[in-house]
Amino acid sequence: GENVEQHPSTLSVQEGDSAVIKCTYSDSASNYFPWYKQELGKRPQLIIDIRSNVGEKKDQRIAVTLNKTAKHFSLHITETQPEDSAVYFCAAKIGYNKLIFGAGTRLAVHP
């Protein structure tokens, strides 16, 4: 069936280090891949997204890469800061406008 797998489920880094979260998707027709950040007790919010016609996209310390052949995409956070601590969700668009999310990665950035 349609699914998105996300790894790792938890990630602990020191402040200033880089963090990488990886996702794989099953539907080869998927063409939109957003990433959402959810701080404790808050609603998820979009931080970056990428479309299937692009291999990489950057926004300051955040970047996303997409490998359509392998059906996987990754979130890269450089120079991590304590405020990056949150749960991160990847997602893939299935069909016309249905977003399926991964199980989430809890990122902890230690000062």
Partner 1 sequence: DAGITQSPRYKITETGRQVTLMCHQTWSHSYMFWYRQDLGHGLRLIYYSAAADITDKGEVPDGYVVSRSKTENFPLTLESATRSQTSVYFCASSEGTGRNEKLFFGSGTQLSVL
Applying CB under 8 A, which residues contact partner 1?
2, 6, 9, 32, 34, 36, 43-46, 49, 89, 91, 93, 96-104
Is 27 or 78 the residue whose CB approaches partner 1 more closely?
27
Sequence-distant (6+) residues with CB within 8 A of 77 are 18, 19, 20, 61, 62, 84, 107
Is 80 or 89 the residue whose CB approaches partner 1 more closely?
89
Least CB distance to partner 1 at residue 111 (A): 26
Question: DSSP code of 103?
Answer: -
